C-alpha cells in the first residue's frame, strides 16, 4: 500500500478513536478532512514535501505537517500509537460497516460490554442492540442492511480498486522477472472488466527452464500477507491490501493463447465453448485445441485461433459471459465495441472550487497530457454542502478563472465550463435556468434522498432544457450504498425523448454493464466520465470504458467519442436554438 493511503488511514482511524473517546469534534473533523486530502493526493508525500507543494494545500496546518514528517521518517505516528492503546481496536474496525460509527460502537461497548466484531454482529442480529436507548427497530434494520453490504464487500472488491492493484503486480513482475518472461497479462474477471473482483489471475508465458525463477520472484512481491502455494506452474499469494488472493500460472509460449482463453473465462462462456467444440469434433483445454479423433493439436499459440477454429468471430474478453455473444459470433455479428482511443474528452471532474483537490489549471494540464481534445470542469452546486458546492456568485468567479486558463491553454484543449447541479427532492434543480444556461454543458445528479424511488425526480430533471446528462443515475456507491430503485425503462424512454444522455461514472461504476446494455439497445446516448476529484483519478475512464464494452457499447453510443461540434450541437438542439 502506498504511503499516502497508509497515512490517510491513520488519520481516519485517529478520528474514529477520538470520536469513540468523546474528544473535541473540531479535532475529529480536522483529522477526517486531512485523511480525505491525503487519500486523493496527486503525488507522493515525499515529493510534495521536498518541492514545497504541500505548504500550499489548504487544510494542512502545522501539527498535521509535523505528523506527515514523522510518518515519513519513522513509518508511524506516535500520537496514533498512544491512542490505539485506549480503545478496543478490533471493535473499532467495524466503522467500515455503513451506518456504524464510533458512537454506536461506544454505546454497545459501554452498555453491553461488547469488545469484538463477532459479539457486535451477534448483538445486532439477536435484537439485544435494538433494545438499547437510541436504537429503534428502524436503525437496527438499517444497520443490518449495512452489515450485509459490508460482508459482500469483504468477498469481492470493485474493479476501480482492483484494476490499479493488478497493474502494480504486473509492473512488479515485469521489473523483477522481465528477463525470464515472454508474455505476461492479467486474466480472469479483471481482464473481463467485471464490476467486482474476487481474486487475481496472472498468466505468464516463458520457457520451462525459467519457471522456477519467475515463481520465486513472484512470491517475493512486497506487501503480501502470506504465501499460500509456491510451485513451478502455479503459485498463490495473499495480498495484504484487501486480503485478496493472486494466482500466477506459467505456461509454455506455445500454449499462451489457449491458456489465456481458458483463464479469462468466464466459466459459463468456457462451458458453452466446449460444447460447441464437441459438436464440431474438437476439444479445447488450457494447452491447446485438438482434433478429437486423431488427437492432433490444431492450435493454441494465439487466442484468436481458438475462436477461428471453432468457426466464429473473435469475442472481446469483456463480453465473454455466455449472454448471447457466442451465438452472434457464430453468425459473425459481434459489433465493434468502443475503444479507449475513441475517447476524445472527459466531461465530469471536480476542482478545489468544490470538493476536488487540484486547481482548474492543474486539471487542464493533466487532460492535455492525456491527449484529450476537450474536457469539462463540473463542480458541485450550493446544496451539496459537504462537497463545498458553489453559489451562483462563486460560479461567476470560477468562470473568470476558466477564462484565464483558456487564454493559456485554449489552443491545446477546449475547456468547457460545466456544473454538476443537484437534483433537489422535488426534481427541480439547485440553480435557476438563467444561471444554468450560461454553462457549456450541464450534468444533473442526485446527492440526497437515497432511500426512495427516484424515478420521478430524474424524469423531471431531464425535462429541463439545460440538462444534458444525468450523473451516476442509480446513486450507487460500492460497499456503502446499493443505489435507489429506478424504473429504468421509463428513464430510458425519457432520455431518448428529451435528448438527455446518461452517465457511465467510472469512480462509482454507475451505470453498471447490465444497465448500459439496456441503454445501448434503446439507442440512448451515454457518456464515459471519470468524476475525478484529483488529477490522480483521471485515469479511471478506463474503468468506465471497460463497463461500456461489457455493456456492448459501440463508438456511436458514447457521446464523448464525437468531435466538439457534435457535443455543442447536442447541447444547443435541446436548448432549442
Ligand atoms: P472472480 O475471481 O470470482 O472475480 O472471477 P473469475 O472469472 O476470475 O473466476 P476464477 O478466478 O474462479 O477463475 C478464473 C478463470 O478460470 C475463470 O474465469 C475461468 C477459468 N475457470 C475456473 N474454474 C473453472 C471451471 O470450473 N471450469 C471452466 N471451464 N473454467 C474455469
Ligand atoms: Ca479471479
Ligand atoms: Zn456526483
Q: Which of 99-113, 140-154, 371-385, 469-483 has maximum average pLDDT?
A: 371-385
Euclidean distance between CA atoms 79 and 527, whole angstroms? 46
**Average pLDDT estimate for 139-159:** 87
Euclidean distance between CA atoms 524 and 491, whole angstroms? 10
Asked whether 299 and 283 are in contact (CB, 8 A), the reply is no
In ligand 1, the atom with minimum distance to the C-alpha of 271 is 29
What's phi and psi for 254, nearest 5 deg? -65, -25
Question: Do 357 and 409 lie in a common domain?
Answer: yes
Rg (CA), the chain: 26
What's phi and psi for 528, nearest 5 deg? -95, 110
Question: Do 280 and 209 lie in a common domain?
Answer: no
Euclidean distance between CA atoms 406 and 414, whole angstroms? 8
Q: Which ligand is nearest to the CA of 191?
A: 1
Question: Do 49 and 71 lie in a common domain?
Answer: yes
Question: Do 526 and 513 lie in a common domain?
Answer: yes
State yes or no: pLDDT of 175 exceeds 90: yes
Euclidean distance between CA atoms 11 and 45, whole angstroms? 15
Q: Which three cell numbers stand for residue 52?
A: 514545497
Confidence of residue 1 (pLDDT cuts 50, 70, 90): low
Q: Other C-beta atoms within 10 Å of 458: how many?
A: 28
Instruction: Identify any residues that bridge with 184 across adjacent strands, giving them in sequence order.
Output: 204
Instruction: Identify any residues that bridge with 469 across adjacent strands, giving them in sequence order.
Output: 443, 501
Query: What pLDDT is attached to residue 242?
Result: 87
DSSP per residue, 363-389:
HHHHHHHTT-SEEEEEEEBTT-TTTTP
What's phi and psi for 15, nearest 5 deg? -60, -45
Q: Which three cell numbers stand for residue 543?
A: 474503468
For 145, the 3-state DSSP assignment is helix
Question: Do 395 and 533 lie in a common domain?
Answer: yes
Q: Which ligand is nearest to the CA of 508?
A: 3
Question: Separation of 471 CA from ligand 3 center, angstroms?
Answer: 6
For 415, the 3-state DSSP assignment is strand
Asked whether 102 and 28 are in contact (CB, 8 A), the reply is no
Query: What pLDDT is attached to residue 49?
Result: 82
Question: Do 456 and 413 lie in a common domain?
Answer: yes
Confidence of residue 38 (pLDDT cuts 50, 70, 90): confident
Q: CA 370 → CA 267, 340, 343, 507, 517, distances in Å?
A: 35, 11, 10, 18, 27
Region of 235 on the Ramachandran plot (φ > 0 left; ψ -120 to 50 alpha; else beta):
beta
**Average pLDDT estimate for 509-517:** 97
Helix H or strand E segment including 463? helix 455-463
In ligand 1, the atom with minimum distance to the C-alpha of 197 is 4
Q: By residue range, what is the domain housing residue 45? A: 3-155
Which residues, in sequence order, are CB contacts of 497 under 8 Å at separation 6+? none
Q: Which three cell numbers stand for residue 344?
A: 476524445
Confidence of residue 384 (pLDDT cuts 50, 70, 90): confident
Percent of the chain predicted with pLDDT > 90: 80
Higher pLDDT, 328 or 388: 328
Neighbours of ion ligand 2 (CB under 5 A): 188-189, 199, 201
Confidence of residue 305 (pLDDT cuts 50, 70, 90): very high
Within a domain: residue 514? yes
State yes or no: pLDDT of 464 exceeds 70: yes
Please report, to the nearest 10 degrees, the dihedral formed by the alpha carbons of residues 447, 449, 451, 456 taken in order: -100
CATH code for the domain of 191 = 3.30.460.10
Euclidean distance between CA atoms 577 and 568, whole angstroms? 11
Last residue of a domain, one of 97, 130, 155: 155
Q: Which residues line ligand 1 (CB under 6 A)?
A: 188-189, 197-199, 201, 262-263, 265-267, 270-271
Helix H or strand E segment including 378? strand 374-380
Query: What pLDDT is attached to residue 96?
Result: 87
Q: Whose CA is nearest to atom 21 of ligand 1?
A: 267
Q: Which ligand is nearest to the CA of 284?
A: 1
Q: 3-state secondary structure string, 241-277?
A: HHHCEEEEEEECHHHHHHHHHHHHCCHHHHHHHHHHH
Confidence of residue 142 (pLDDT cuts 50, 70, 90): confident
Q: Whose CA is nearest to atom 24 of ligand 1?
A: 267
Is 237 exposed, middle or buried (CB count within 10 Å of its CB: 0-12, 13-18, 19+)? buried
Within a domain: residue 336? no
**Average pLDDT estimate for 493-506:** 98
State yes or no: pLDDT of 421 exceeds 90: yes
Question: Separation of 420 CA from ligand 2 center, angstroms?
Answer: 36
Within a domain: residue 337? no
Asked whether 442 and 419 are in contact (CB, 8 A), the reply is yes
Euclidean distance between CA atoms 391 and 369, whole angstroms? 31
Last residue of a domain, one of 191, 221, 251: 251
Which residues, in sequence order, are CB contacts of 539 under 8 Å at separation 6+? 530
Q: Whose CA is nearest to atom 17 of ligand 1?
A: 265
Q: Which three cell numbers stand for residue 69?
A: 514528517
**Average pLDDT estimate for 12-41:** 91
Query: What pLDDT is attached to residue 7?
Result: 92
State yes or no: pLDDT of 272 exceeds 90: yes
Euclidean distance between CA atoms 270 and 329, whole angstroms? 14
Within a domain: residue 173? yes
CATH code for the domain of 280 = 3.30.210.10
In ligand 1, the atom with minimum distance to the C-alpha of 190 is 8
Question: Separation of 499 CA from ligand 2 center, angstroms?
Answer: 39
Summarised one tens digit per residue, pLDDT across range 61-116 is 888 889 999 998 998 999 999 999 999 988 998 998 888 999 999 999 999 999 99
Within a domain: residue 8? yes
In ligand 1, the atom with minimum distance to the C-alpha of 265 is 18
CATH code for the domain of 470 = 3.20.20.140
Last residue of a domain, one of 220, 251, 282: 251
**Average pLDDT estimate for 263-283:** 97
State yes or no: pLDDT of 497 exceeds 70: yes
Question: Do 370 and 461 lie in a common domain?
Answer: yes
Within a domain: residue 436? yes
Query: What pLDDT is attached to residue 62?
Result: 83
Q: Whose CA is nearest to atom 31 of ligand 1?
A: 267
Q: Which three cell numbers stand for residue 164?
A: 490499479
The answer, yes or no, to whether the previous bond of 266 is cis (omega within 30 of 0) is yes
Please report, to the nearest 10 degrees, the dihedral formed by the alpha carbons of residues 124, 126, 127, 128 taken in order: -80
Dihedral sign for Cα atoms in the order 346, 352, 353, 355? positive
For 546, the 3-state DSSP assignment is helix
Total domains present in the chain:
4
Which residues, in sequence order, are CB contacts of 412 under 8 Å at separation 6+? 368
Question: Do 444 and 531 lie in a common domain?
Answer: yes
Pocket test for ligand 1, best of 189, 247, 259 (most atoms within 8 A of CB): 189
State yes or no: pLDDT of 577 exceeds 70: no
Percent of the chain predicted with pLDDT > 70: 100
Q: Which three cell numbers stand for residue 137?
A: 427497530
Within a domain: residue 268? yes
Residue in the structure block whose three cell numbers are 426534481: 427
Q: Whose CA is nearest to atom 1 of ligand 1?
A: 198
In ligand 1, the atom with minimum distance to the C-alpha of 192 is 7
Q: Which three cell numbers stand for residue 532?
A: 475525478
Within a domain: residue 340? no
Question: Do 58 and 134 lie in a common domain?
Answer: yes
Question: Do 48 and 147 lie in a common domain?
Answer: yes
Question: Do 451 and 393 lie in a common domain?
Answer: yes
Helix H or strand E segment including 549? helix 541-550
Q: 3-state secondary structure string, 329-358?
A: HHCCCCCCECCHHHCCEECCECCCCCCCCC
Which residues, in sequence order, are CB contacts of 260 under 8 Å at separation 6+? 185, 187, 203, 303
Q: Where are the beta strands (DSSP E) in 151-287?
A: 157-158, 183-186, 196-197, 200-205, 224-230, 234-239, 245-251, 282-285
Question: Do 311 and 349 lie in a common domain?
Answer: no
Amino acid at each position: 500500500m502506498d504511503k499516502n493511503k497508509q497515512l490517510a488511514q491513520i488519520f481516519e482511524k485517529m478520528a474514529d478513536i477520538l470520536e469513540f473517546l468523546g474528544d473535541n469534534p473540531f479535532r475529529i473533523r480536522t483529522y477526517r478532512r486531512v485523511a480525505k486530502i491525503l487519500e486523493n493526493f496527486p503525488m507522493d508525500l515525499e515529493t510534495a514535501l521536498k518541492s514545497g507543494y504541500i505548504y500550499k494545500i489548504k487544510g494542512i496546518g502545522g501539527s498535521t505537517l509535523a505528523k506527515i514528517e514523522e510518518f515519513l521518517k519513522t513509518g508511524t505516528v506516535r500520537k496514533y500509537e498512544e491512542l490505539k492503546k485506549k480503545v478496543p481496536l478490533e471493535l473499532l474496525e467495524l466503522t467500515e460497516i455503513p451506518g456504524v460509527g464510533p458512537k454506536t460502537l461506544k454505546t454497545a461497548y459501554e452498555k453491553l460490554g461488547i469488545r469484538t466484531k463477532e459479539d457486535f454482529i451477534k448483538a445486532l442480529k439477536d435484537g439485544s442492540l435494538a433494545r438499547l436507548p437510541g436504537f429503534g427497530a428502524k436503525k437496527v434494520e438499517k444497520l443490518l442492511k449495512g452489515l450485509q453490504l459490508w460482508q459482500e464487500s469483504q468477498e469481492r472488491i470493485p474493479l476501480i480498486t482492483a484494476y490499479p492493484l493488478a497493474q502494480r503486480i504486473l509492473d512488479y513482475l515485469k521489473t523483477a522477472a522481465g528477463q525470464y518472461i515472454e508474455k505476461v497479462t492479467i486474466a480472469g474477471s479483471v481482464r473481463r472488466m467485471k464490476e467486482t473482483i474476487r481474486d487475481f489471475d496472472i498468466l505468464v508465458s516463458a520457457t520451462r527452464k525459467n519457471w522456477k525463477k519467475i515463481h520465486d520472484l513472484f512470491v517475493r512481491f512486497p506487501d503480501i500477507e502470506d504465501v499460500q502455494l509456491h510451485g513451478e506452474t502455479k503459485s498463490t499469494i495473499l495480498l495484504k491490501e484487501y486480503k485478496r488472493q493472486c494466482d500466477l500460472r506459467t505456461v509454455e509460449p506455445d500454449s499462451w493463447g489457449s491458456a489465456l482463453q481458458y483463464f479469462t473465462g468466464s466459466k459459463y462462456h468456457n462451458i458453452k465453448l466446449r460444447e460447441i467444440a464437441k459438436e464440431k469434433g474438437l476439444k479445447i483445454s488450457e494447452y491447446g485445441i485438438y482434433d478429437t479423433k486423431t488427437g492432433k493439436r490444431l492450435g493454441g499459440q494465439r487466442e484468436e485461433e481458438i475462436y477461428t477454429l471453432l468457426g466464429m468471430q473473435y469475442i472481446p474478453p469483456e463480453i465473454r459471459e455466455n449472454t448471447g455473444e457466442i451465438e452472434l459470433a457464430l453468425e459473425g455479428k459481434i459489433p465493434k465495441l468502443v475503444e479507449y482511443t475513441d475517447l476524445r474528452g472527459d466531461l465530469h471532474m471536480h476542482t478545489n472550487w468544490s470538493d476536488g483537490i487540484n486547481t482548474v489549471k492543474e486539471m487542464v494540464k493533466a487532460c492535455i497530457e492525456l491527449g484529450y481534445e476537450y474536457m469539462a470542469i463540473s463542480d458541485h452546486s450550493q446544496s451539496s454542502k459537504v462537497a463545498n458546492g458553489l453559489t451562483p456568485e462563486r460560479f461567476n468567479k470560477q468562470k473568470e478563472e476558466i477564462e484565464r486558463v483558456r487564454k493559456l491553454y485554449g489552443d491545446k484543449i477546449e475547456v468547457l465550463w460545466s456544473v454538476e447541479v443537484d437534483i433537489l427532492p422535488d426534481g427541480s434543480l439547485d440553480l435557476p435556468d438563467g444561471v444554468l444556461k450560461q454553462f457549456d454543458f450541464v450534468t444533473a445528479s442526485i446527492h440526497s434522498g437515497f432511500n426512495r424511488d427516484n424515478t420521478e425526480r430524474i424524469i423531471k430533471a431531464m425535462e429541463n432544457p439545460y440538462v444534458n446528462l444525468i450523473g451516476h443515475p442509480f446513486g450507487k456507491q460500492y460497499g456503502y450504498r446499493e443505489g435507489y430503485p429506478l424504473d429504468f425503462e421509463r428513464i430510458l424512454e425519457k432520455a431518448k425523448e428529451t435528448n438527455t444522455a446518461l452517465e457511465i461514472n467510472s469512480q462509482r461504476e454507475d451505470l453498471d454493464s447490465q444497465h448500459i446494455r439496456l441503454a445501448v439497445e434503446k439507442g440512448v446516448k451515454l457518456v464515459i466520465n471519470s468524476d475525478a476529484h484529483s488529477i490522480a483519478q483521471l485515469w479511471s475512464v478506463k474503468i468506465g470504458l471497460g463497463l461500456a464494452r461489457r455493456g456492448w457499447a459501440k463508438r456511436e453510443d458514447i457521446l464523448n467519442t464525437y468531435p466538439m461540434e457534435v457535443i455543442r450541437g447536442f447541447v444547443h438542439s435541446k436548448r432549442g436554438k
